[in-house]
Amino acid sequence: MSPSDVDVDRPSAARVYDYVLGGKDNHAVDRRAAEMLLEIAPEIRDTARQNRAFLRRVVRHLAGLGVRQFLDLGAGLPTVENTHEVAQAAAADSKTVYVDNDPIVLTHGRAFLDPDSGSTFLSADIRDTTAVLKGAGEHLDLSEPVGLLFVNVLHLIGDGDDPAGLVAAYAHALAPGSHVVITHVSGDGAGSELRERIGKVFTGSSADARLRTRGEIGRMFGGLPLLEPGLVDVAAWRPENGAPVGELRVFAGVAQVP
């Protein structure tokens, strides 16, 4: 599908990410850009897959704790085992609101979602907390717990936009029993050569994009209590199999809103 508002002549971050994950919603221009990225930093493929596997595990875990509503911020293109599918497999009445500011994600997302699924895509910038919460509130009951997902998106929000303040604004608006989930790419432990390569990849996707340290990522939870095992490598958060940790770290943590 190539609707007129979707530019197929320039790579889209969402479609490039889809290609890296082995998806089919991408064009030649995205595949070329993705291959260039993977040539610069082949580690990205493994960390992207580990990140999606974490998303499945965390949605299942929160569903097990009784969470029936999910707000997936910076959702990306639908791929396999998306948030609403994992949530509904655990509890059929679960609802998900996906938010992304890429028009391609909205077009594909709306085409992909069954209108009767109880889930929806919102086109919004997650930095506009008022608009996102208003839109989400039309589909979710914000007086009940929500699983708030910032999965591999906050590294695209620059310090000038105060990502920790954003997380706090959302967490503050949510009911007790809600959970804040963050995964974030980090430069910790990476050699200077890898940091330089990843820096190049990031600058290509957003001038504001930034690797952060584990300490900086931890502070984004604003002091909310973290579920076990705390803030750990994404593959090591309640792993179902082994937990291989590469040189390119992605940290993951889940906090509960008291």
Ligand X SMILES: C[S@@+](CC[C@H](N)C(=O)[O-])C[C@H]1O[C@@H](n2cnc3c(N)ncnc32)[C@H](O)[C@@H]1O
> Could you list the residues that contact ligand X (CB under 6 A)?
13-14, 17, 51-52, 74-76, 99-102, 105, 125-127, 151-153, 156
Tokens representing residue 205 in the block: 């996707």
The nearest distance, CB 72 to ligand X, in angstroms, is 7
Residues in the chain: 258
Shortest approach of ligand X to residue 77 CB, angstroms?
7
What is the smallest separation between the CB atom of 155 and ligand X, expressed in angstroms?
A: 8
Distance in angstroms (rounded) separating the CA atoms of residues 142 and 69: 9
We find the least distance from the C-beta atom of residue 150 to ligand X, in angstroms, to be 8
Name the 3-class secondary structure at 96.
strand
Distance CA 82, CA 87 (A): 9
| CB 119 within 8 Å of CB 96 | yes
Torsional sign, CA 192, 196, 202, 208: positive
Count Cβ atoms below 10 Å from residue 196 Cβ, excluding itself. Answer: 12
Query: Closer CB to ligand X, residue 99 or residue 220?
Result: 99
What is the DSSP-derived secondary structure letter of residue 54? H
Between 99 and 248, CB nearer to ligand X: 99
CB of 174 to ligand X, least distance (A): 18
**What's the closest the beta carbon of residue 48 comes to ligand X, in angstroms?**
7
Q: What burial class does residue 238 get, using C-beta atoms within 10 Å of its C-beta: 0-12 exposed, 13-18 middle, 19+ buried?
A: middle
Residue showing the smallest CB distance to ligand X in the complex: 76
Name the strand (E) or helix (H) holding 46. Answer: helix 43-64
The smaller minimum CB distance to ligand X, of residues 123 and 213, is found at 123
> Among 217, 252, 248, which residue's Cα sits nearest to residue 44?
248
66 vs 134 by CB, closer to ligand X = 134
Instruction: Rank residues 81 and 144 by Cβ distance to ligand X and give the closer one.
Output: 81
Give 54 or 192: the residue with its C-beta nearer to ligand X.
Answer: 54
